[in-house]
Amino acid sequence: MRLLEERILKDGKVRPGGILKVDGFLNHQMDVNLFMDLAKQWHDAFAGDNVNKILTIEASGIGLACIAGLVFGCPVVFAKKSKTKNIDGSLYRTRVESFTHGNVYDVIVSRDYLLPTDRVLLIDDFLANGAALEGLCDLVEQAGATIVGAGIAVEKSFQPGGARLRERGLRIESLARVKAMYDDGTLEFDD
């Protein structure tokens, strides 16, 4: 069994509504040694793809993306949540529907930090309905940069995001794939 799957079984908690709580090691308290191991797995998967930038989304992708940035040796950019208007055209902006919070918000990236020459790896903690990852793809496409693929920690494969984005041609490397979560608090992984 993979390291992240073992950790989910040990410390993850299944919550009602298809939510997996991983606050103790992934997105509140962060186990940075685990993050280093995950980042190395993404590095192995995308070796030879000439990644020169990592893009994630505020807030819970940032820790993982920073460790990945160390391993890939490249800058890390995070799409910022924003309420301000883009009056001077200096930003790329997209809308994201939050799975966990049930709301819609705008995220922005400065045009200075996503360039047409960039080869971008997208990083996030979860892939559920795919809205966060789709938003990141949209920002990279607005910049005319290349999307190399996505490194995801936990994909909930019983939700439609992964299948839809792979169909669109996005390469996704998920390090744990949860295929079912049950009311008794147990879960199953994909093979």
Q: Is 45 in the site for ligand 5GP (CB under 6 A)?
A: no
**Candidates 32-40, 63-71, 105-113, 127-135 — which segment interacts with ligand 5GP by CB under 6 A?**
127-135
CA triplet 59, 61, 64: central angle to 5 degrees?
130
Tell the smallest beta-carbon distance from residue 128 to ligand 5GP (Å).
3
Distance CA 116, CA 90 (A): 15
Rg (C-alpha) for the chain, rounded Å, is 16
Please answer whether residues 170 and 141 qualify as being in contact, where contact means their C-beta atoms are separated by less than 8 angstroms: no
Nearest to 7 by CA among 164, 138, 176: 176
Choosing from 120, 127, 143, 176, the residue that interacts with ligand 5GP (CB under 6 A) is: 127
For ligand 5GP, the closer CB: 22 or 114: 22
For ligand 5GP, the closer CB: 22 or 71: 22
β-strand pairing of 76-82 with 53-57? parallel
The helix, strand and coil proportions of the chain, stated in percent and rounded to the nearest 5, come to 30, 35, 35
Q: Is 99 in the site for ligand 5GP (CB under 6 A)?
A: yes
Q: Is 60 in the site for ligand 5GP (CB under 6 A)?
A: yes
Q: Is 161 in the site for ligand 5GP (CB under 6 A)?
A: yes
β-strand pairing of 13-15 with 146-156? unpaired
Distance CA 65, CA 109 (A): 15
Please answer whether residues 133 and 155 qualify as being in contact, where contact means their C-beta atoms are separated by less than 8 angstroms: no
Q: Is 94 in the site for ligand 5GP (CB under 6 A)?
A: no
Q: Is 100 in the site for ligand 5GP (CB under 6 A)?
A: yes
For ligand 5GP, the closer CB: 3 or 59: 59
Choosing from 4, 8, 20, 66, the residue that interacts with ligand 5GP (CB under 6 A) is: 20
Please answer whether residues 55 and 109 qualify as being in contact, where contact means their C-beta atoms are separated by less than 8 angstroms: yes
Residue nearest to ligand 5GP (CB): 99
For ligand 5GP, the closer CB: 23 or 44: 23
Q: Is 132 in the site for ligand 5GP (CB under 6 A)?
A: yes
Q: Applying CB under 6 A, which residues contact ligand 5GP?
A: 19-22, 27, 60, 99-100, 124-133, 156, 161
